[in-house]
Amino acid sequence: MTINILFAGHVSRWPDYREPLETALRAAGLEFDLRPEFADPAQVDYIIVAPNGPISDFSPYRRARAVLSLWAGVEGLIDNPTLNQPLTRMVDAGLTEGMVEWVTGHVLRHHLGMDAQICATEPRWHPVAPPLARDRPIGVLGLGALGCAVAQSLSRLNFPVNGWSRRDKSIAGIATRHGDTGLRETLAQSQILVLLLPLTPQTENLMNAERLSLLPRGAILVNPARGQIIDDEALLAALDRGDLAHATLDVFRQEPLPPSHPFWSHPQVTVTPHIASETRPRSASEAIAENIRRCEDGKPLLHLADPNAGY
């Protein structure tokens, strides 16, 4: 029997996703009708969605067996009062690999002091060797699929990695902590801090003035998670005082980041345009097709979002 699949990501992404989705769905052995619009919402079996997509009311999609997000973060979806269908998060190899590569690149950039070592623009010879990785403790806040992969990658480079999560977790080679005391201990040891937390009511403004002050003086903050996790004014104040040496930010409270925002002009801030881990159509389509196939086979969906946890 043909299953009806609605693509409800942002309209601009339909040309990018159509062919990879069709290829992945066929490879999964599914008979399907994939479209960006159905005249009758009650005929839709699955909804592929993004928080910036066109659907705000899920109640007409009474037959839909699952809503499958193209994004790892599900804020803007999980608290939608009309969403009565199971919601899955995007967890796929391409997204994880992209995040590991972006974070590792920027951690190494700061660890090695690459910005200060570049001499191409002026005749300057000031050789300063960085410490070895084993002498540079890294903190990773958030130990989900992305945080765990990043922490393990950095550990393999010989960085001592301290990981923190809301719940107690055990990861080989990583010193893991949880709870408020664990957070304070992790921050106090993090010369470079990487944020990989989901955005929930509990994590919004988590990195406020008090918690930023717990970082070692001269620490570096790297945020590819969500902009709302950081108090912008507190971060700017910590940078201006010299408490923090630098912040590399890929996500912001408002995107695109407004031209007038002080992050653009601050000498200790690096801005990247939300590219740390863009969802890749091919690998994301394979993850979507696998979940639909599982549901059609009567198996549990992978990566179900938990409304109680907020992600």
What are the catalytic residues? 226, 274
Q: Helix, strand, coil shares of the chain as percentages rounded to 5? A: 35, 15, 50
Token readout for 220 is 């570096």
Contact 297, 8 (CB under 8 A): no
Q: What 8-state DSSP symbol labels residue 129?
A: P
Where does the chain have alpha helices with state H? 14-27, 93-112, 114-117, 145-156, 179-188, 209-212, 232-241, 281-296
Count of beta carbons in the 10 Å neighbourhood of residue 277: 24
d(CA 181, CA 87): 32
In our burial notation (b when 16+ CB lie closer than 10 A, e otherwise), range 9-47 reads: bbeebeebbbebbeebbeebebebebebebeebeebbbb
Single out the residue of 258, 260, 251, 257 nearest to residue 229, CA to CA. Answer: 251
In Å, how far are 34, 278, 282, 286 from 19, measured between CA atoms? 10, 18, 9, 12
Contacts of 303 (CB under 8 A, 6+ apart): 88, 89, 90, 91, 291
Q: Which stretch of DSSP H or E encloses residue 48?
A: strand 46-49
Contact 207, 235 (CB under 8 A): yes
Token readout for 158 is 């010989």
Pairing, β 32-35 against β 3-8: parallel
